[in-house]
A and B are shown apart, each in its own frame.
Chain A
Amino acid sequence: MTLPAPRRVGLLARWETTPFHLICAGTVAAFLVAFLIVPVATVVFVAFWDGQSLTLVHFADFFRTSLMIEATWNSIYVALMAVIVATIIAVPLAYFTVRFRFKGAALIQTLGVIPLVMPPFVGAVAMQLVYGRNGSVNLLLMDWFGFRLPFMEGLNGVIFVQGLHYFPFILLNLSASLANIDSAMEESAQNLGASGWTLFSKIVFPLAMPGYIAGAALVFAKVFDDLATPLLLNVNNMLAPQAYLRITSVGLADPMGYVISTILVVLSVVAVWLSLLSLKNRDFATTQRGGGGLSKRELRTWEKFGAYAFIAVALILALSPHFGILMLSLATVWSFSVIPDAFTFAHYITVFRDAGGMMANTVLYCGVAALIDVVLGTMIAYLVLRTKLPFRQLIDQIAMAAVAVPGLVLGIGILRVYFDVKLPFSGESLATFWVMLAIAYAVRRLPYALRSCTAALQQLHRSLEEAAECLGGDKSVVMRKIVVPLMAGGILAGFVTSFATAAVELASTLLLVTRDASAPLSYGIYVYMQSAAGRGPGAALGVIAVVVVAIATWAAYRVAENDRARRAREGVAA
């Protein structure tokens, strides 16, 4: 008996794909190519191009220029030191939460969020007034003890501000790792005769290491790439500020900016890759989870005292940028004094009068960016999880890779590629058209929105869609009526996260904004902070931005929590 001839199964059927899906895939691919791949590839290409052929001459120039060598070492030094500062703050806090049963744990969780709602550049100037040479702390030290501490001198300032801002990355990752260590692992080690230092070095430390590495690598990359904080602290002998200054002062044709950008991208990619690699190992640990966390014990009195003292210091440090910016926004004059001379609401009145346009711009740009993110995020999640389209994983990976592209580099790339493209009618450059800024924001936030959408779709049982198909709903109906409504929580959380983080992005903003009229809030903060007289209004804008981000972050968290609670309820009922 012979088998019947194989049927010719169309490509679309084999890929479990409809024309509707192809349109989605085309849209996503076009967006990623035009606004991520081409700009970044152009930056790297220009770094290796002398006009006629590929060359290493620009890199040779780079390594012959003493300022560039100095900037490189400074950037590495600052990033490493910021990791150390963050580690010193984060490791004890993480250990307290998982090891001991005490009320401070809730405080530590709050501590983990406080810095994240305020980008480091916003607080940078205020930090100078609190910790600078003539800031509050040093004035008091001088009065009481007769010496000063150089918290904010040169590179120290960048290290201090960044370390305080980024320690939550280590705290959160390390706590998660520690919490995933099963108490049974610890107990079986004890049962086999290990205790004290042996237990820590052989069991706890190796199991917690991936989480620490993941956090530390991210901190290193973020600090290494950051443009805004050094710029605001007037520290220019680092790589990112050098790239920015080269492009904006020497011009778009100057190859040095591209060489620096290439170095930033490569380093950032390596760091993020390292971070993801360690997290993979952590996932492995969670699969054999049973008991949940190390065994906790009560603190002895003197230990409790020590722990609370440490938390208090960390809390004061973490809150000082917030406190400083608030004081600055309310101060009449604050110079060479511990606290401002007098307080006023004048700066808020000024910014509401003068900077209303900037606030409106921020809402518009970030709203558009967040909308792009959730639309693309939903499409990508759907293509990856629900079709067998070839290259779907690649689309996902490219979109995720945006997380490793510094805003500075994306900004330079977009300028380079689209500067000479003129808009019809107005003749304005496409690169500096406001939509392009929203797109740059969208590209950089896409990974967050995408993860949020993917998580939401993963929770959606496939049969919910198949049931609708059986009853006569085609793919687009099912998308509209079933998939999107059921993903709403995840989509909304993704939208809010994108919006909030885009609102305080400075690097790409600085590159792509040319006129004050089209500038968003983040640009306004930067410009105001440049002059002594503008600090008050700049701080007021900063406070407004922080409040917006804090509310949005809280809202995203609430939405996600409600969603989880709803699912849990339905899970119980079903």
Chain B
Amino acid sequence: MSAPGVEIDRVSFGYGSTKILDDVSLRVEKGEFFAFLGPSGSGKTTLLRLVAGFGVPNAGAVRVNGRDVTDVPPWKRNVGMVFQSYALWPHMTVAKNVAFGLERRDVPKAEIGKRVAAALDLVGLGAYGERRPAQLSGGQQQRVAVARTLVIEPDVLLLDEPLSNLDAKLRVEMRQEIRELQRKLGLTTIYVTHDQEEANAIADRIAVLDGGRIQQLGAPMDLYDRPANRFVAAFLGTANLIEGDLAADGNFRADRFALSGLTVPKPGKACVSFRPHDVTLSAEGRNLAGTIQHREFLGGNIRYVVTVGPHRVTVDTVHRRDSQVYDVGASVGLSIDASQASVLY
């Protein structure tokens, strides 16, 4: 079996007593598109920067294609990084920006010209070599940053929130382009984002980080369907989390809340998690009665917040013309699809 593209082996990092990363391990396979997903302060960017060589872990090792690079400075790693701010050098032309890495590698001049042109063609900016970065739009600058990184044929491509400075429409276009480019070149890629939709859309696998630890690691759909803990359940999409007691027969009880038919990993204190669209509302209260607290019309959906005893349950109902709409203050019955719910501890 060949060595993984990137291996992070029990890495810890921090300054003094503040821990930013705490015993993190993961493997990114060759050619895989991997995402670090987490809120700000989760340590995801720090972890990416350790792969690039900006900072040395306090413990653990970083390996690229099997080579231990923990103590190797960034300029000897051959790891390409695209920065959130693009970091194009304003005093150089686009072509000069792209040529920089090749010049450092003592590539002959004639070949530099060819490879720079090829890299710019690859991102669709073949005609822009003589421009200055300031003369380009945000999306074009982004492409130059990608070309500048790809031209050195890096062992790993690192992308640090590369789309966060673009408007929503361009963001979707660019992420598709990046993904196609990565597939074409077969590059091992790590992508950092705080946007769960972006991570879900683009990555083969995701590591969800919070508080300097990996909370869960897996394919996007698995993380959504089977969150390992409360954090992952709430961070990927919207989740209703209710604390209570789970009996061995699959009956879950909380203060004025009950749900039966759950699979039971372990009876006792537990937290049940279910998605807003796994709840259906009816005018008649059956097993669960609640009151509409709040209503938002979102177009395709109507989002209700329903109070059930002390709990607030978020419910999404598909909206169709003339379908039933509940007013704020109305009493409703809730039924929850237990087969879609997760039990967390």
A482 lies within 8 A of chain B by Cβ: yes
Provide the bound-state CA to CA distance between A1 and B134, in Å: 52
Q: Is the CB of B90 within 8 A of A486?
A: yes
Q: Is the CB of B60 within 8 A of A4?
A: yes
Which residue on A lies nearest to B54, using beta carbons? A466
Q: Is the CB of B59 within 8 A of A3?
A: yes
Provide the bound-state CA to CA distance between A3 and B149, in Å: 35
A106 lies within 8 A of chain B by Cβ: no
Set of chain B residues within 8 Å of A533, measured between Cβ atoms: none
Indicate which residue in A464, A472, A574 contacts B152 across the interface (CB closer than 8 Å).
A472
Q: Is the CB of B89 within 8 A of A486?
A: yes
Q: Is the CB of A469 within 8 A of B73?
A: yes
Q: How far is the CB of A21 from chain B (nearest CB, A)?
A: 13
Q: Is the CB of A482 within 8 A of B85?
A: no
Q: How far is the CB of A210 from chain B (nearest CB, A)?
A: 34
- Near B by CB (< 8 A), chain A positions 464-481 give 464, 466-474, 477, 481
B97-109 vs A, Cβ < 8 Å mask (1 yes, 0 no): 0001100110000
A13 lies within 8 A of chain B by Cβ: yes
Which residue on A lies nearest to B10, using beta carbons? A4
Q: Which of A9, A474, A477, A574 has the most CB of B within 10 A?
A: A574
Q: Is the CB of A469 within 8 A of B134?
A: no
A463 lies within 8 A of chain B by Cβ: yes
A439-464 vs B, Cβ < 8 Å mask (1 yes, 0 no): 00000000000000000000001011
Interface size counted on chain A using CB atoms at 8 A: 32
Provide the bound-state CA to CA distance between A485 and B96, in Å: 14
Q: Which of A466, A473, A477, A570 has the most CB of B within 10 A?
A: A466
B56 lies within 8 A of chain A by Cβ: yes
Q: Is the CB of A7 within 8 A of B70?
A: yes
Using known A-B contacts A3-B23, A466-B81, A472-B75, determine if residue A574 contacts B59 with beta carbons closer than 8 Å.
no
Using known A-B contacts A7-B70, A463-B83, determine if residue A473 contacts B134 with beta carbons closer than 8 Å.
no
B148 lies within 8 A of chain A by Cβ: yes
Provide the bound-state CA to CA distance between A573 and B74, in Å: 29
Which residue on A lies nearest to B70, using beta carbons? A7
B116 lies within 8 A of chain A by Cβ: no
Set of chain A residues within 8 Å of B57, measured between Cβ atoms: 7
Indicate which residue in B58, B86, B105 contacts A574 across the interface (CB closer than 8 Å).
B86
Chain A's interface: helix, strand, loop or mixed, by majority?
helix
Q: Is the CB of A574 within 8 A of B10?
A: no
Provide the bound-state CA to CA distance between A474 and B53, in Å: 12
Q: Which of A10, A467, A486 has the most CB of B within 10 A?
A: A467
A5 lies within 8 A of chain B by Cβ: yes
Q: How far is the CB of A354 from chain B (nearest CB, A)?
A: 45
Q: How far is the CB of A331 from chain B (nearest CB, A)?
A: 51
Which residue on A lies nearest to B151, using beta carbons? A471
Provide the bound-state CA to CA distance between A6 and B141, in Å: 41
Indicate which residue in A14, A471, A485 contacts B101 across the interface (CB closer than 8 Å).
A471
Set of chain A residues within 8 Å of B10, measured between Cβ atoms: 3-4
Say which size band chain B's interface belongs to. Answer: 35 or more
Set of chain B residues within 8 Å of A515, measured between Cβ atoms: none
Set of chain A residues within 8 Å of B80, measured between Cβ atoms: 470-471
Indicate which residue in A472, A486, A573 contacts B135 across the interface (CB closer than 8 Å).
A573
A569 lies within 8 A of chain B by Cβ: yes
B12 lies within 8 A of chain A by Cβ: yes
Provide the bound-state CA to CA distance between A570 and B76, in Å: 31
Set of chain A residues within 8 Å of B79, measured between Cβ atoms: 470
A197-234 vs B, Cβ < 8 Å mask (1 yes, 0 no): 00000000000000000000000000000000000000
A494-530 vs B, Cβ < 8 Å mask (1 yes, 0 no): 0000000000000000000000000000000000000
Which residue on A lies nearest to B160, using beta carbons? A463
Q: Is the CB of A485 within 8 A of B60?
A: no
Which residue on A lies nearest to B52, using beta carbons? A470
- Near B by CB (< 8 A), chain A positions 515-574 give 566, 569-570, 573-574
Provide the bound-state CA to CA distance between A293 and B10, in Å: 55
Q: Is the CB of A486 within 8 A of B100?
A: no
Set of chain A residues within 8 Å of B74, measured between Cβ atoms: 466, 469-470
- Near A by CB (< 8 A), chain B positions 111-162 give 133-136, 138, 141, 145, 148-149, 152
Which residue on A lies nearest to B165, using beta carbons? A574
Q: How far is the CB of B335 from chain A (nearest CB, A)?
A: 42
Using known A-B contacts A471-B104, A471-B148, A486-B91, determine if residue A463 contacts B56 with beta carbons closer than 8 Å.
no
Which residue on B lies nearest to A486, using beta carbons? B91
Set of chain B residues within 8 Å of A4, measured between Cβ atoms: 10, 23, 59-60
Set of chain B residues within 8 Å of A570, measured between Cβ atoms: 90, 133-134
Set of chain A residues within 8 Å of B105, measured between Cβ atoms: 472
Provide the bound-state CA to CA distance between A39 and B88, in Å: 45
B71 lies within 8 A of chain A by Cβ: yes
Q: How far is the CB of A546 from chain B (nearest CB, A)?
A: 35
Using known A-B contacts A4-B59, A6-B59, A473-B104, determine if residue A467 contacts B134 with beta carbons closer than 8 Å.
no
Provide the bound-state CA to CA distance between A75 and B23, in Å: 66
Q: How far is the CB of B204 from chain A (nearest CB, A)?
A: 23
Which residue on B lies nearest to A481, using beta carbons? B100
Set of chain A residues within 8 Å of B89, measured between Cβ atoms: 464, 467-468, 482, 486
B84 lies within 8 A of chain A by Cβ: yes
Provide the bound-state CA to CA distance between A570 and B135, in Å: 8
Provide the bound-state CA to CA distance between A461 and B53, in Å: 18
Which residue on B lies nearest to A478, using beta carbons? B75
Set of chain A residues within 8 Å of B23, measured between Cβ atoms: 3-4
Q: Is the CB of A470 within 8 A of B73?
A: no
Which residue on B lies nearest to A468, using beta carbons? B100
B3 lies within 8 A of chain A by Cβ: no
Indicate which residue in A7, A477, A481 contacts B58 across the interface (CB closer than 8 Å).
A7
Which residue on A lies nearest to B82, using beta carbons? A467
Q: How far is the CB of A82 from chain B (nearest CB, A)?
A: 45
B87 lies within 8 A of chain A by Cβ: yes
Q: How far is the CB of A490 from chain B (nearest CB, A)?
A: 13
Set of chain A residues within 8 Å of B12, measured between Cβ atoms: 3, 6
Q: Is the CB of B138 within 8 A of A574?
A: yes
Set of chain B residues within 8 Å of A467, measured between Cβ atoms: 81, 83, 87-89, 145, 148
Q: Is the CB of A473 within 8 A of B54?
A: no
Q: Is the CB of B100 within 8 A of A471?
A: yes
Q: How far is the CB of B111 from chain A (nearest CB, A)?
A: 16
Provide the bound-state CA to CA distance between A538 and B90, in Å: 47
- Near B by CB (< 8 A), chain A positions 1-56 give 3-7, 9-10, 13-14, 18
Q: Which of B52, B54, B77, B149 has the most CB of A within 10 A?
A: B54
Q: Is the CB of B59 within 8 A of A5?
A: yes
Provide the bound-state CA to CA distance between A311 and B326, in Å: 74
Which residue on A lies nearest to B152, using beta carbons? A471
A381-423 vs B, Cβ < 8 Å mask (1 yes, 0 no): 0000000000000000000000000000000000000000000
Q: How far is the CB of A477 from chain B (nearest CB, A)?
A: 7
Q: How far is the CB of B82 from chain A (nearest CB, A)?
A: 9
Set of chain B residues within 8 Å of A569, measured between Cβ atoms: 134
Provide the bound-state CA to CA distance between A486 and B91, in Å: 7
Q: How far is the CB of B228 from chain A (nearest CB, A)?
A: 17
Q: Is the CB of B56 within 8 A of A13?
A: yes
Provide the bound-state CA to CA distance between A224 and B129, in Å: 59
Provide the bound-state CA to CA distance between A9 and B77, in Å: 18
Indicate which residue in A6, A7, A471, A485 contacts B91 across the interface (CB closer than 8 Å).
A485
Using known A-B contacts A463-B85, A472-B152, determine if residue A7 contacts B60 with beta carbons closer than 8 Å.
yes
Q: Is the CB of B87 within 8 A of A463?
A: yes
Q: How far is the CB of A464 from chain B (nearest CB, A)?
A: 5
Other contacts beyond A7-B70, A471-B75: 20, CB < 8 A: A3-B59, A6-B59, A463-B85, A467-B88, A468-B89, A470-B74, A470-B75, A470-B77, A470-B79, A472-B152, A473-B100, A473-B104, A481-B100, A486-B89, A486-B90, A486-B91, A569-B134, A573-B133, A574-B86, A574-B141
Q: List 7 A-B contacts (CB under 8 A).
A: A4-B10, A4-B23, A6-B58, A466-B83, A471-B149, A472-B78, A574-B133
Binding site for A on B (CB under 8 A): 10, 12, 23, 52-54, 56-61, 70-71, 73-81, 83-91, 100-101, 104-105, 133-136, 138, 141, 145, 148-149, 152
